[in-house]
Structure 1
Amino acid sequence: MEARMGVKALAFDVFGTVVDWRGSVAREAAALAAQLGIQTDPLAFADAWRAGYAPAMDRVRKGELPWMHIDALHRMILDSIAEQFGFGGLSEAQRQHLNTVWHRLTPWPDAVAGLTRLKQQFTITTLSNGNFSLLTAMAKNAGLPWDCIVSAELFQHYKPDPETYQGVARLLNLPTSQMMLCASHPSDLRAARAQGMKTAYVMRPFEFGEHVPLPKVEPGEFDCVAQDFVDLARQLDA
């Protein structure tokens, strides 16, 4: 029990931590390009689409844009980069389908097995900036065994706003000290820790490609450092 640190629920970041957004988006982009006879760099396309994510959310957080969920922000970014990557001629139906690739992301190989194991001992939930319908569709498509789905959309605040971390604890009727955020992004973990959560850093060395180094973390900065979800389950005695 000591390894569990009094934690009763685990909240998971999703994009990059649970699912491989880069590989998934690139595969669909490559298939679409081949179908339409378009020359493109699918990995560069995935990277460019993702690169617009944080700036778009920041515009919402600063009030420069009204509240918009992630599907709407993803579509705004897609429309801004489509021409650059040869997708400018897509029909509206094709753009809509491509935009929902984020609903169909593939989990990392350890994700389902690790989550299933953790679920035996803890309540497991998402805490993602992805919208509720996106996370629901993703879970169904990928077989992700969540006990519940919590989206930033429920609070109309994006991480790292404090309202998101406080909000998931409130929904589960737990103090933040009995919750642990599990994420591959140190900035997310630091924001959760500032709200009283325990933290688990899960390494995802291929999230941004094999040539991009892992972010730097200080020794002992987080409560757990795990190679993957199965390793995290072992460390938490699950």
Structure 2
Amino acid sequence: MAAERCWVVIPAAGVGQRFGGDFPKQYTKLRGRSLLDHCLATFLSWPTTYKIVVALSASDRQFLESDFATHPKIVKVEGGAERVNSVLNALAYIDLQADDGDWVMVHDAARPMLQTRDIDVLWRARSQYRAAILARPISDTIKRSNRAGVIDRTVSREGLWGAQTPQMAKVEDLCSALRAGLQAGHNITDEASALEAQGLEVGLVEGPAYNIKVTLPDDLHLANLWLERQ
């Protein structure tokens, strides 16, 4: 039996409006290396990575300065208006070459702290689930507000998880789920939500606390602290 292949998709066509700055957030430097390059370095050092498909803005010129711009395992495709469009563009490339049973992991370009051991944990989950994501159980007390910005009620955190990436599925499952979700007009905030809408069970694999998403400038400081600890 042929070895199972794992493709990786990194949507990196966004501008990171909440982060601010004069260039896209994924090119912000953390310890001298862009957030995107941190992600690429991790997946390139994971031995099961088959190819990494990076979805970039049509006007992107900064990727040419990446440490991995010419790496033979990296493929560039044009991104779309939203994350889901970028992921679908990458999947369109993969779908033309994928074997039956190939897997794909989709990872945020702004999650630079991921380690190969975390990918290993998710990859092993394929023996139990047809799709799975890294996630963290919610530990904070959750409040729901009203329109005036006042607490309406406290929400039980039992069974609540905060989704992380990578998010993993069979290539054919994710392609069909995202296309169906867009056609139905669903708000697709991550890959798991599209898979759930099609009735697929998505396993929750506990991810590490350090697998943070850099959304605001303070998150960059937090990521730097985690790097110091590592």
Does TM, normalized by the shorter one, top 0.5?
no
TM-score where L is the length of structure 2: 0.38
Q: Which has the higher contact order (CA 8 A, sep 6+)?
A: 1
* Higher helix residue share: 1
TM-score where L is the length of structure 1: 0.37
* Higher strand residue share: 2
